[in-house]
Structure 1
Amino acid sequence: MLTFHSMPPLSAKHRNTLEGFSSAQIAIITEEKACKQVVAAAGSGKTRTVIGLTRFRFESGLERAGRFLILSFSRKACGEIRSRLPAQLHDAVEIRTFHSFCYRRLLELHPTLSRSSFRILEEEERNRFLYKILREHPDVIGGIPFSLILKSRETFYEYFPELAMKTYRALHAYKRENDLLEYDDLIQILLWGLRRQESWALHMKSLYDMILVDEFQDTDPQQLEFLLRMNSPRLMVVGDDWQAIYSFRGATVQPFLDFKKLFPRTVLYPLTENYRSLQPIVHGGSGIIKHSSRQIRKKVKAVRGRGPNFPVLSFALRPGEEPDFVRLIEQHDVVILTRSNFRRDLWIAAGFPENRILTIHRSKGLEFPVVLLDVIGGWSGETFLSDEEIRIAYVGMTRAENLFCCLHRPVYPEQAMERTVFEVLFRPICRPEVRDGLSGLLEQEAQYRDHDA
């Protein structure tokens, strides 16, 4: 179980700067440690804490302009941090994705690339080139979708070794002839310089006094090696193992779980107060994530309390009932989350507004007053419920602020994975609701929100 750290004495100036932060957040912001791991539960104010720490360190004279690096795994996350950082710190703090960081440093420092006119091979151009090769071999791949074949290089080589070798050799030649690099090439070149301790890479290491990594649960082995080899004087990583859902991009939760072994100086800080969701949703989320076998266990508390004590709901949808259900909910401010793009497209075809329906992966980092989570279809596996699928279900549920409802089938085939998802994860925590009951609760939630505002 995670424990809190004592808070150091603060001056009157700092007490004013830190007003509104919890004691757990203040400990993260003010304690001077060489290496910090922040385990931030959903809705616990991690971005606000990152902003608070950055402000505090510059206002206290602990950091020098241009020597503080913040890395994240998406442009969206970088944009949010930048938008919330005071304008006077925009030039003092470097905020980048890993790929953007690699691109900029290689362009500035690498002895060859800094003088070249290389450009990035974007996904659309890459796919266009590879699809052209695959179209020439219908006798080999049959009717398998090209996107599925190219999803995993290892699987491609396993099932179609000769075609895979020909395809990637052609891609390599195309990149060389056109002075192209992929994003993964950038970090490989960077790591090669760090491994060989080349002068330009050693200079890069000297540029930063502190590195802060956001969403660290989504790291991959190359990004982990980068942090190990940079060996920054001060390092802080922020994330939540319960929300690690990007293994399809090569990310793995293991570095987050093993962080203290990898960086022995680490002090671990928990953020376990949820400011987003009412207690029934927080409690329900804990009921889902308890099924995960690999996790940092923590007890999350809902700061907003129980509110009107809305129950966590489930609603059974028969095949073809989606258009009728849309008519029931379309006047309410609700969002539908789906496990698959197929189900998203089906809801759009049923008349639900496109801007109010997202896949669970697209919803990460967002929050909504009412979430209807469609668990029909799209889950990986046949009978075994993986840790990642459990975490995906948890992320979907914890986007909700006030009211949550799981949409499921009344009857499933015996071996359907979606049956396991519903019966193991959601049936134990959800109260079944009928049409009139759900409509009434949506009305109550709207009234509660108006009153709360």
Structure 2
Amino acid sequence: MARQYQLKKGPRKGVSGIDYLAELNEQQYAAVSSSPGPALVIAGAGSGKTRTLTYRVAYLLDQGVDPKSLLLLTFTNKAAREMMERVRELISLDLSELWSGTFHAIGNRILRRHADEVGLTRSFSIMDRDDQKSLMNTVVAECDIDTKSRRFPKADVLISIFSLVENTGVELEDLLEARYPYFEEWGEEIAKVGKAYTAKKLETNSADFDDLLILPLKLLKENEELCGLYQKRFQYLLVDEYQDTNAVQSELIHLLARPQNSVMVVGDDAQSIYSWRGADMDNILSFPEHYPNATVYKIETNYRSVPEVIDLSNAAISANKKQFKKALRAARVGGSMTPALVPVEDPRAQADFVAQRVLELRDEGIELDEMAILYRAHHQSLEIQMELTSRGIPFEITSGLRFFEQAHIKDVAAFLRFATNRRDEVSFKRFCLLLPGIGAATATKLWRAWLKVGISKKEEPPKRFSDCMLKFPVPAKAKKDWEQLCYTLDELVVGDGYARPSEMLTSVLEGVYDDYMKASFENYD
């Protein structure tokens, strides 16, 4: 009589020989050696978060957990790669079946296996930003939307709008009201484009990066049997940077963690900085509510900064209304310079102080290349850049372009440069290209028209730009904007001179450029 046997794997504990107590501090060890079940690890800045997560993977493998039962989710491919390299150094096992990577990489992996269930084939293309813009422009054109009377949002802005809708779960109408009130009048048309864009992606067998999250979640929610297979496989979920997850990522984690809920998320509520792209800090704050039996671990020894910096950050963070209380401790010895809190009246006073302090430190023997000025966002560097430049202090920007190199600054400056130098072909063509329906060829034709009447050698240039420029042939789509541009240029000239610089800027912004920025830049505000 035939007999059936079920193969059982023997115990495989402690194969690495790692002395976890010796290699981890007490708080790290508590998190690493935690029992199965939901766990939240609040890891303060510089406390060894990556080390803790890496050793957690090694610890589970040491306890005999099958590598294929683990799912490690990170926010960058580099982080996933470095963690897995470190795990391989710690423990000699075949980890080829352990899934690790970014949310998008894991989503892509799931989607490739079951693409047919969401209307794609397994060979679907993943679009980058340029691909998205191209497809979006095609969709807008096919929707036959009249954009002549009012400026319709550009492809970049539309992509950002639809991305926020997908990643936050907020209705399009509510999102426009909250973040893009100047596009509320286009609500119906934007919704139409959104539906057409979704259909076009399926038609072209393409997916954007948001689809790599949205479609796998949709697939697992609608196919219980398939979802059950992944839930059965992934017995242990480990998630990095949980404070930066959005609604879709959080829902995907909770779905895959069922029913055993053996999920460990690591993060720091005090380091949540991506709300502008849909991240929701409430995901980490509400974790204990979502899993009432969750254990919360805190890792509070900072190995990166000196005590003076840690004390200052603790004092600042203590004012947060919603947070997990923690008190970072510095492992390093104290430094020679005490942090200073300097109240100032406005950004200009702040820039004056920073520039003055830089010069003082240089006089004290500290080289300029040993100093750094930190700010939260690049736009906050404007006044400091201006002040450093005016004082002749050389500097290098690492967060982006210098102020006067940024596209929108050069756009506005083009109007002023042309008004004061009517032979400036580069500036003339630059502001022409801002208008809808005007490309390089049309801009060249307009410049030639200006050469004939605007700066003729036989006569003085016209005192009013509109006197001659309104007669130039422009595409019908650009006619209204061209008229406004001509009248705006008129405002820059007063009598035989020019308006005040501040008045010139106001005229350009209010007359022409504000509408262009709203439609063209996703970070208009």
The answer, yes or no, to whether TM exceeds 0.5 is yes
CA distance in 2, matches of 1:83, 1:38: 22
User: Structure 1 residues 170 and 33, CA, compared in 2 at 3 Å: closer, same or farther?
Assistant: closer
Report how far residue 145 of structure 1 moved.
7.3
Q: 2:218 aligns with which of 169, 172, 192?
A: 192
Please show how residues 67-82 of structure 1 align to structure 2 within 5 Å: 67-82=69-84
Asked whether the 8 Å contact 1:280–1:312 carries over to 2, the reply is no
Percent identity (aligned) = 25
1:12 deviates by 13
- Aligned counterpart, 2:151: 141
> Match for residue 308 of structure 1?
336
Between the aligned partners of 2:372 and 2:305, the Cα distance in structure 1 is 15
Query: Deviations 1:165-196 (Å, cap 9, x if unpaired)?
Result: 34324423431321112232233332233323
2:290 matched to 1:262?
yes
Structure 1's unaligned 5+ residue stretches are 1-9, 360-453
> In the alignment, which residue of structure 2 is the partner of 1:227?
253
Per the TM alignment, residue 47 of structure 1 is displaced from its structure 2 partner at its CA by 0.5
Paired AA for residue 119 in structure 1: S
Q: Which residue, 149, 152, 163 being the options, matches 2:161?
A: 152
Which residue does the alignment assign to 1:318? 352
| 1:214 alignment partner AA | D
Deviation sequence 1:327-364 (CA, Å, 0-9, x none): 9576433444333334568859965335xx338xxxxx
What SS does the aligned partner of 1:137 have?
coil
| Counterpart position of 1:358 | 399
Matched, 1:333 2:370: yes
Q: Secondary structure at the match of 1:53?
A: helix
User: SS state of the match for residue 265, structure 1?
Assistant: coil
How far residue 149 of structure 1 moved from its aligned partner, in angstroms, is: 6.1
Q: Larger deviation: 47-56 or 181-190?
A: 181-190
- Please state whether the residue corresponding to 1:282 is helix, strand or coil: helix
State the secondary structure of the residue aligned to 2:279: coil
Kindly indicate whether residue 130 of structure 2 is the aligned counterpart of residue 124 of structure 1: yes
How far, CA to CA, are the matches of 2:27 and 2:309 in structure 1? 22
Please tell me whether residue 45 in structure 1 is matched to residue 48 in structure 2.
yes
Indicate how the Cα distance of structure 1 residues 91 and 266 shifts in structure 2: closer, same or farther if over 3 A, else same. same
Give the corresponding residue for 1:171: 197
The structure 2 residue matched to 1:103, chosen from 108, 129, 136, is 108
The 2-side partners of 1:141 and 1:111 are apart by 38
Report the residue type matching 1:163 in the other structure. E
Change in 2 beyond 3 A, CA 1:53/1:226: same
Rg (Cα) greater in structure: 2
Q: Which has the higher strand share?
A: 1
Helix, strand or coil for the counterpart of 1:337? coil
Compute the displacement of 1:319 (Å).
10
Contact persistence 2:237–2:263 (CA under 8 A): yes
Q: C-alpha deviations, 1:41-99, integer Å up to 9, x for none?
A: 111111111111112221232x1122211102233432332343325455353211111
State how far apart, in whole Å, the 1-side matches of 2:110 and 2:71 are.
Answer: 12
Deviations 1:236-294 (A, max 9, x none): 00000001111112110112111111012211101111111111111111222223211
TM-score by length of 2: 0.58
Write the deviation string for residues 1-33 of structure 1: whole angstroms up to 9, x where unpaired: xxxxxxxxx999867244231111111111213
Identify which of 22, 25, 28 aligns with 1:22.
25
Deviations 1:308-331 (A, max 9, x none): 353346594239969x86995764
Alignment-mate amino acid for residue 46 of structure 2: G
Is the alpha carbon distance of 1:279 and 1:204 closer, same or farther for their aligned partners in structure 2, counting shifts above 3 Å? same
Q: Distance in 1 between matches of 2:195 and 2:37?
A: 44
Contact 1:194–1:201 (8 Å) recurs in 2: yes
Task: Go from structure 1 to structure 2 and tell me whether the alpha carbon gap of 1:159 and 1:293 turns closer, same or farther (over 3 Å shift).
Answer: farther
Query: Which runs of 5 or more structure 2 residues have no equivalent in the other structure?
Result: 1-12, 163-174, 343-348, 401-525
Match of 1:206 in 2: 232
1:298 aligns with 2:326: yes
Determine the structure 1 residue equivalent to 2:61: 58
- 1:151 deviates by 3.6
Q: 1:275 & 1:164 partners in 2: Cα distance?
A: 49
Separation of aligned partners in 2, 1:146 and 1:172: 14
Instruction: For 1:101, give the aligned amino acid.
Output: I
Distance 1:352 1:92 in 2: 49
SS of equivalent residue, structure 1 residue 285? helix
Shift of 1:158: 3.1
CA–CA distance in structure 2, aligned partners of residues 27 and 181 of structure 1: 42
In structure 2, how many angstroms separate the alpha carbons of the residues matched to 1:312 and 1:305?
19
Please say if residues 119 and 181 of structure 1, whose CA atoms lie closer than 8 Å, have aligned partners that are also in contact. Answer: yes
Q: Is the 8 A contact 1:278 1:307 kept in 2?
A: yes
The answer to whether the Cα contact below 8 Å between 2:116 and 2:122 also exists between their aligned partners in 1 is no
Query: CA, structure 1 residues 11+189, in 2 after alignment: closer, same or farther (shift >3 Å)?
Result: closer
More helix by share: 2
Give, in whole Å, the separation in 1 of the partners of 2:332 and 2:379.
35
Question: How many residues are paired up?
Answer: 346
Alpha-carbon spacing, 1:199–1:330, altered in 2? closer, same or farther (3 Å): farther
CA distance, structure 1, for counterparts of residue 211 and residue 49 of structure 2: 31
Contact 1:272 1:299 in 2 (8 A): yes
